[in-house]
Structures are given as structure tokens and as C-alpha cells.
Amino acid sequence: MNERFQNALRGEPQKIPPVWMMRQAGRYHRHYQSLKEKYTFVQLCKQPELAAETALGPIQDFDFDAAILFSDILFPLEALGMGLEYSPGPVLDRRLETEADLQSLRPHADAIGHMQFQLEAVRLTRARLPNDKSLIGFIGGAWTLFTYASAGDHGGHLIGAKTRQKLAHMFYERLIPLLVGNVELQLQGGAEVVMVFDTAAGELAPDLFADLALPLVRELTHIFPGKIGYYARATTQDHLRYVRSIQGLAGFGVDHRYEMARLLQNNNGTGSNSDARNSPGERGNAGFVQGNFDQALLFLNEDDFVPALERYLRPLQILSPTERAGWICGLGHGVLPRTPERNVRRFVEKVREVFA
Ligand code: CP3
């Protein structure tokens, strides 16, 4: 396991934060591209040796502190019988639009058998990973998976999903037990923490977010306390309040819309307007905070990239290690296709240089 990553999970103060980026194994990376010349995306996910090889590429090339399982959030929908292809983006061959559509889904007790490939993938990745690196598992968030199931993607205004809230809750009765089993597989295989990527959940008003996105997270943290992290894009402080009130949550990620320094101070009860300080019991719930450099800025040319990164890091350098405790340094979202590799490498190096 990686010491910096483990320290961050435990909220131990440390000088240098661990670095991990969502989508660190992906299309921007030559290692991934060369694998894609020989294999399809689905083969890379479902053949455990290939999944391990894909996940290890960015560790070898960029020396991230943690690897993340190479897979996709949509396989549980396929396991439920929804038919999934990638060409190259995901295409489901069915839609969930009515209660009748639910009846034709595969029962979750059968569906979990279709996720076994992830157990092997996590095991092999763990086995091949150097001892001083950590391993993260992941699943999709309930709301994001419902948007895919009902609308085929998570873009646009989400009208199809937002107007079918009752259907969402009925779908969750099947989906949540499957995802519990899915997380169990990944933890069994050796994942140290499992992230719930709920990309589309920030599109919900905060009270609906609590109602439609968080039931899964509450269920998971109840069963696997200290093992679950949560990320949604474009959340606000109002969404975060609900996230941070979840007992047993290991931590959460945020995008670049937050000021990381202030968020960390408040999370650790050291900020000037900290709500945690006013209610001391809350600190134990806060956990790690992952993020949040704007991934678009990785496209800057060499002369401009380092100053932009330094500017991002400056308010964080001013914090003490105690104030920064729990920080996992990464991006606001994930690495984009065509991102120059040299800036990814420089990012990891620079963070270690600045906090050394
Ligand atoms: O982070 C990693 O390196 C692990 C791998 C990972 C992938 N997908 C591999 C992938 C992770 C963590 C994901 C999560 C995921 N998948 C999310 C949540 C996070 C996010 O980015 O919003 C979502 C919404 C998906 C669904 C999905 N899978 C989409 C929309 C696409 C196509 C477009 C895209 O962004 O690449 C995929 C395919 C996919 N998943 C690829 C990879 C490397 C690209 C496949 C290819 O064309 O080679």
C-alpha cells in the first residue's frame, strides 16, 4: 500500500499529498493507445490480465501513488440484461421508461455472476502492482446509472430521468443490491477504497440529490464503513452538506469549482468559517477530499502550464500539513483524450517538488 494514500484516507497530516487522476488510464496515453491497437475496450476490461496491464501503464509511466481498476461504470447495467456496446462511446440496446421495463431485467442475484471478471481484474492488478502503490476500485453512482438506463447517456437536461423519479426508486431496489455485491467483489480482490462516480448527480437540486443519489451511498457506507468515497461533478456546498453528513463515508471528490484550500480547512475544522469547528463531532465524518485542478489546463503549452499549476498549488502550500490532512491531489474531473502526456508527468513531479 502507498503510505501517502493511506495517510490521506486516515486523515493523517503529511507534507506531500498522494496523486491520483480519474481516467489516468485512457485515450490520452500511448500505453493505452498501443493496447487499443490489438484489443477492444471491452476486452481490456473483461480479460483480467489486460485490465491489470492497462491499469498499470500510468503507474509505470507517471508514478501515480494509486492505480485504479480498469473497467467501466456501465457493466452492472449490462449484468442486469440491458445489452451494452462501445462504439466508441457506450450504447445500451434497451431503455428503462416504464415499470413494465423493470420486469424484464435480470434479477440481481443472477446479475452479480456477470461481474465476477472484476474480482479477477482487481486481484491481478493488486498482484502486479508494486508494494508501495495503492489500489482504488470504483462503481457508478445510482443516479448516473439511472440516467444511462432511462436516457442512454448522462448529458443534456436529463428530462427523461428527472421526470421518472418513482421509476428510479423502483430501479434502485434491483440496482443497489447488485452494486453492494459489486463493491464487495472489489474489496475482496484487494481494493483499499471504492469510489462511487456519480458524474450526473450534481445536476439535481440538493434535496433531490439527497433523495435520488445518496441512498446508494448510505447503504454502502453502512455495510462498508470507511471504504467508500463519493464523487459527483458540478456539486455546490449545499450538495456537499448532505454528502458530509453520511456516517462512515471515507471521503469525497470535488471538481475545479471549489477552492480546495478553503474546503480542506473547513473539512478539518481549522477554517475561519468552519461549520465543523462549531460542531466538533462532525470532523470524523469528513474524511479525504480528492481534487481538483482543472483538467482543461493540462492542455496549456509547456511555458504556461507550470505557472498555472503553481498558481493552483500556492494557496495549498500556505496551509499547514494538519490543515491539508486528507487531501488526495488530482483533477476536477478526469484526464481528457489528447491531453499531452508531458503535462501529466510534470503535474506529478511538480506536486512532489512543491510540498517536499
Ligand atoms: O480512471 C481510470 O483510469 C479507470 C477507468 C475508467 C473508465 N471509465 C475507462 C474508460 C473509469 C473510472 C471510468 C468511469 C466512467 N465511465 C464514468 C464516470 C466518470 C466520468 O468520466 O464521468 C462514466 C460516465 C463512464 C461511461 C463511459 N465509458 C463513457 C461516457 C465512455 C466514452 C467516452 C469517454 O469519456 O471515454 C466510456 C468509455 C471508456 N471508459 C473509455 C475508457 C478508457 C474509452 C474507451 C475508448 O474509446 O477507448
The atom number, within ligand 1, closest to the CA of 88 reads: 47
**Average model confidence (pLDDT) across the chain:** 95
- Work out whether strand 84-86 and strand 90-92 pair parallel, antiparallel, or are unpaired: antiparallel
Cβ(291) – ligand 1 distance below 6 Å: no
What's the gap in Å between 269 CA and the centre of ligand 1? 35
Count the domains in the chain: 1
- What pLDDT, in 10s, does the model give residues 323-335? 999 999 999 999 9
Query: Best substitution site from 23, 41, 54 to test ligand 1's pocket, by max atoms within 8 Å of Cβ?
Result: 23
Mean pLDDT value of segment 32-46? 98
- What pLDDT, in 10s, does the model give residues 219-262? 999 999 999 999 999 999 999 999 999 999 999 999 999 999 99
* pLDDT > 90: percent of the chain: 92
User: What is the C-alpha separation between 61 and 341, in angstroms, rounded?
Assistant: 9
Domain range enclosing 262: 3-355
CATH of the domain at 252: 3.20.20.210
Q: What is the 3-state secondary structure (H, E, C) of 203-248?
A: HCCHHHHHHHCHHHHHHHHHHCCCCEEEECCCCCHHHHHHHHCCCC
Res 286: pLDDT: 67
Q: Return the residue whose CA atom lies nearest to atom 20 of ligand 1.
A: 199
The H or E element that residue 194 is part of is: strand 193-197
β-strand partners of 241 = none
Res 155: pLDDT: 84
Query: Best substitution site from 72, 78, 335 to test ligand 1's pocket, by max atoms within 8 Å of Cβ?
Result: 72
Spell 307-334 as b/e; 16+ CB within 10 A means b. eebeebbeebeebeeebbbbbbbbbbbb
Residues 6+ apart with CB under 8 A from 23: 334, 335, 336
Instruction: Give the model's confidence band at 273: pLDDT under 50 very low, under 70 low, under 90 confident, else very high.
Output: low
Residue 283 in this model has a pLDDT that exceeds 80? no
Res 203: pLDDT: 97
Cβ(70) – ligand 1 distance below 6 Å: yes
Residue 35 in this model has a pLDDT that exceeds 80? yes
Q: Return the residue whose CA atom lies nearest to atom 32 of ligand 1.
A: 89
Cβ(134) – ligand 1 distance below 6 Å: no
Cβ(21) – ligand 1 distance below 6 Å: no
Residue 205 in this model has a pLDDT that exceeds 90? yes
Res 272: pLDDT: 59
For residue 4, which of 125, 195, 133 has the smallest C-alpha distance?
A: 133
